[in-house]
Amino acid sequence: MLKLEPLQISEIANFANENIKLHDYKLDAEYYYQSLPLCVIDSVYSIGVKYEIVKKTIKNFCEYNDLQIYRNRIKKFPEFNSQFSVSDFVKLYGNKNAEDLANNIFKNRQRTSPTNGILKAEAVVLFMKELYAENINYFQDLDNISDNFEQKIKLIKGQKSGISLQYFFMLAGNENLIKPDRMVIRFIENIVKSQVSQNDCQEILRNVCSELRKIKIVISPRKLDNAIWNFQRNQR
C-alpha cells in the first residue's frame, strides 16, 4: 500500500479546498434512491462505463416497474411501505432469464468483463439473492448484515475487487466508504505525482477528511469522493 507523507495529504486537502466547493457539499441524487434494489443496480452497472448509461438503465427499470427513483434529499430513509424491497425484486426476477432481463427491462447488455464476463443483469440478480438470503430487504435492514456477506458478493463474476460492493454501501448510506474509480485515482495522482492504486484511495481520502477538519471543513469520505468525482469529470 502506498503511504503518503503528511505534506502530500495536506497538498490534496488544500487543492480540494481551493478548487471544489466543499462547504455544505450536497451529494448527487443517486445517493437518495427510494429503494435499496436501485443501489444494487447502480453499483453493478456503474463499473467501467459512463454514468449517463447507468442513469438510463435505472430509469428503464423504474419505468417498467412503475417505481419512484429518488426520495427527497434527506438522510431519513423512506418508510417500509414506500420502498420496492429486495424480496419484491427476487420474487419478480429471481428466476427470470438474464438475457430477457437485460434486453427488455434494463435494456442494457453490458457484461461484468469483456473476457468471460457475465451479463450485468445476471450479476444484479445474484447480488440481490445474497441480500435476500441475509433477510436484507430495506435500507433499514443493513445494520443486520453478516460478516460473510462481503465474501459472498466477491464470488460473483466481476465483483472480486469489491468496488461494486463498496459503492453499494455508499449509495445505501455509509458515510465512510468511497468508490475508488479512475476519476478519484486521477485526481490524487495529479497532485502527488505518484501512482495510486484502488486500495490506496480509501485511506488517502479518510486522511484528507481529517486534514480538512483542521480548517473547519467537515466532510465525510463519501461526500469527498463524490465531490472529487464531479470535479474531475468536468476537467476536459
pLDDT for position 233:
87
Domains in the chain, number: 2
Question: Global pTM?
Answer: 0.92
Same domain assignment for residues 17 and 70: no
Residue that has been written with the C-alpha cell 479546498 in this structure: 17
Amino acid at 26: K
Amino acid at 22: L
**Domain for residue 162, yes or no?**
yes
Phi, psi of 108 (to 5 degrees): -150, 115
Same domain assignment for residues 134 and 56: yes
Domain stop point among 145, 171, 197? 171
Q: Mutual orientation of helices 120-133 and 86-93 as an angle, nearest 10°?
A: 130
pLDDT for position 3:
75
pLDDT in tens, 28-79: 999 999 999 999 999 999 998 999 999 999 999 999 999 999 998 777 899 9
pLDDT in tens, 172-206: 999 999 998 889 999 999 999 989 988 899 999 99
Same domain assignment for residues 132 and 149: yes
**Domain for residue 218, yes or no?**
yes
Which segment of 4-8, 100-104, 208-212 scores lowest on mean pLDDT? 4-8
Same domain assignment for residues 131 and 19: no
Domain stop point among 151, 171, 191? 171
Same domain assignment for residues 138 and 33: yes
Tell me the CATH number at 138: 1.10.340
CA distance 231 to 37: 28
What is the extent of the structural domain holding 211? 6-28+178-233
pLDDT for position 53:
97
The answer for residues whose C-beta is within 8 angstroms of residue 11's C-beta and 6 or more apart is: 191, 192
Same domain assignment for residues 52 and 141: yes
pLDDT tier at 236, thresholds 50, 70, 90: low
